Structures are given as structure tokens and as C-alpha cells.
Chain A
Amino acid sequence: MKQMIMAMIAVFFVSSVQAHEMTPTYPKLEPSHLDGLLVTTMQMFNKRADVEYYEIAVFDKEWNPVPFVTSYNIIKLDYLGKVTFDVYIRKNDRQRVGYICSRSKLRKESTVRTAVTSRICSKFK
């Protein structure tokens, strides 16, 4: 009985591993069908059961915000869901754009605990 409980606890901890992933590491900007805009395509995978929403942001090399357009700045991504999204940036910003980041958005919890917010940033080279 004790072994069974230990096994159940072990399974719980293994299954509670939660991950956030965004690719590619080094995206490339390409001309888009819209005049004056460049586009890059990103992919994100949500293996965090505690997260449903991710916020997209674009920064220059000094971490100042850069204007951009996506279908949604905050993307709903269900557990184990994968999403491909386009990020549009002005041609004028091509030289200064540095990073595209996705950041997990957490809900308020009802326990005394810490929580981990994850952010992954890809870099324009």
C-alpha cells in the first residue's frame, strides 16, 4: 500500500512538469504582402498546465519596446497546444529590432506559494 502511494506521488510529480517553448531561436525578417512591413513566423508550444495565455512583445537591442502587430498580442494556448503566428514589424525598424519574446500570463492562485513566470526571447541577428 505504501509503495503504491509512493508510486502515485512519483507519477504526480513527473506529470506536473511544465514547459514553455518558442522557436526559432534566430528568426529572420522577410518582406510581407503588406507594403512597408516585414514579417517573421514563430511557433510556440505550451506544456504548462497552469498557463493558458502568453503575451508577445518585441524589443530593440536595449530592451525598449518596438511597435509590432500580431493577430493577438496575448495568445490563448491550451495545454499541449501549438500555435504558429506571424509578427509584423515596420521596415524602418529593421535595424533596431532585437528580440521577440513570449511571456506566460498567470492567474491568481488561492494558496500561499511562489509561482514561476517564464519568458523566452528569440534574437534577430
Chain B
Amino acid sequence: MFRNIILTTALGLSITHLSYAQAENVPINGVVQSRCIIQTDNPGTFGNPNAYTLTTSSADGGEDAIIRFDVSLADAYYAEITAPTAFSSSPSLPDTVTWTGDTEVHAVSDATGMGSYETNKIELGMTDKYDLTATGSTWFKTSSTATLGGSKAFPGGNYTALVVAECIAQ
């Protein structure tokens, strides 16, 4: 009788232990699609080195816009980046504004595959077009300078200008 109780208890314990030993596989599903992601690492800031100039130059207290393109499919996208050609918001200005600006490759994740991006770019006015021939990340730096005509002073107020970053499937 006592032996039977011990055996039953041992069997029960072993079943309990079996239940502890069970494992569950929980799948986390995901699909990697070819895509282009545009990231704004730094939207940029204008410095005001003199009364009639706003510039993103760091020497004048500004910051260039830094935009990152992540591409997961080679030869599938163009990057087109356009430096500002007008203020999207500003006070009323007493004269016309002359704009200069440029975009260049700031950094790349794959020096071999992306090393020729800067030399192969196509410049169309203020727009620079890059053929994204490799997968990975490319950081572009856009500078901008606005000069008010007649060396007149920019009126006090808030100024915003837009950099347009486009990723267009080929």
C-alpha cells in the first residue's frame, strides 16, 4: 500500500515536470520589402552673419540640412534633393532674395558601392540627382544661402525655407 502511494506520487511529479519541460515557439513574422526611406537627421538652421544674409554655413552660426536615404534594393531609386529657392514663411520683404545652395554626399555606409555617387550626380539648377546604385544608407548635406537685394536688412521675424528630398523609383 505504502509502495503504491510512493509510486503514484512519483508518477504525478514526473508528469508535472514534463509540463515544465514543454517549450513554445512563438513566431515573429516579418517581410522585408524593397523600399526607400527618407530620414531627416538634421533639418538645418540659418545663421545671420550680417543684416542681409541668412546662411546654413556653420562658420556663420548655421547648420546644413542632413538627410539620409536608406535603400534596400540596388538600382531601384533616384534621390533628388532640391535646395531652397524661396521662403515658405517669412515677414514681408523689401526686396528680392537671391538664393544659392548645393547638395553633396556627406557620408555613406558602403564606400565601395557608393563612392562614385558624388562624381556621378546630375545637377539641374538647385536640384541634385543621384542614382542610388547600391543598398545601404547615404547621408546628403544641403547648404543654402539667402541674400536680400540692395544689401537691405532682413526684417525681424521667423523665416523658414524648404529642402525637398525625393526618392523616386526607377
| Secondary structure dominating the interface of B | strand
Q: In the assembled complex, how far is the CB of residue B162 from the closest CB belonging to chain A, in whole angstroms?
A: 5
Across chains A and B, the number of contacting residue pairs, with CB separation under 8 Å, is 123
Cβ contacts B154-170/A at 8 Å (1 or 0 each):
00001111111111111
| Secondary structure dominating the interface of A | strand
- Asked if B151 is at the interface of the complex by the 8 Å CB criterion, the answer is no
Task: Give A residues with C-beta under 8 Å from B.
Answer: 13, 17-26, 47-48, 50, 99, 106, 108-123
Contacts of B169 in A (CB 8 A): 25-26, 99, 121-123
Asked if B88 contacts A20 (CB within 8 A), the reply is no
Contacts of A110 in B (CB 8 A): 158
Contacts of A17 in B (CB 8 A): 39-41, 68
Asked if B163 contacts A25 (CB within 8 A), the reply is no
Asked if A19 contacts B37 (CB within 8 A), the reply is yes
- 8 closest Cβ pairs, A-B complex: A123-B169, A114-B44, A118-B38, A19-B39, A119-B166, A121-B168, A116-B40, A21-B37
Q: In the assembled complex, how far is the CB of residue A79 from the closest CB belonging to chain B, in whole angstroms?
A: 13
Contacts of B70 in A (CB 8 A): 19
The residue among A17, A26, A115, A122 with the most chain B CB atoms within 10 A of its own CB is A115
Contacts of A119 in B (CB 8 A): 164-167
Asked if A20 contacts B38 (CB within 8 A), the reply is yes
Asked if B163 contacts A120 (CB within 8 A), the reply is no
Contacts of A118 in B (CB 8 A): 38, 40, 67, 165-167
Q: Quick one: which of B33, B37, B88 contacts A115, CB cutoff 8 A? A: B88
Asked if B168 contacts A114 (CB within 8 A), the reply is no
A114-B39 contact given A24-B34, A108-B89, CB 8 Å threshold: no
Report the bound CA distance from A112 to B158 in whole Å. Answer: 5
Asked if A113 contacts B45 (CB within 8 A), the reply is yes
A121-B167 contact given A20-B37, A114-B44, CB 8 Å threshold: yes
A114-B162 contact given A106-B88, A108-B89, A123-B170, CB 8 Å threshold: yes
Asked if A117 contacts B164 (CB within 8 A), the reply is yes
Q: List 30 A-B contacts (CB under 8 A).
A: A17-B40, A18-B40, A19-B39, A20-B37, A21-B36, A21-B38, A50-B40, A108-B89, A109-B158, A112-B158, A112-B160, A113-B45, A114-B65, A114-B144, A115-B43, A115-B163, A116-B43, A116-B44, A116-B162, A117-B162, A117-B164, A118-B67, A118-B166, A118-B167, A119-B166, A120-B36, A120-B168, A121-B166, A121-B167, A123-B169
Q: Quick one: which of A47, A113, A115, A123 contacts B168, CB cutoff 8 A? A: A123
A113-B34 contact given A121-B166, A121-B168, A123-B170, CB 8 Å threshold: no
Contacts of A114 in B (CB 8 A): 43-46, 56, 65, 84, 142, 144, 160-163
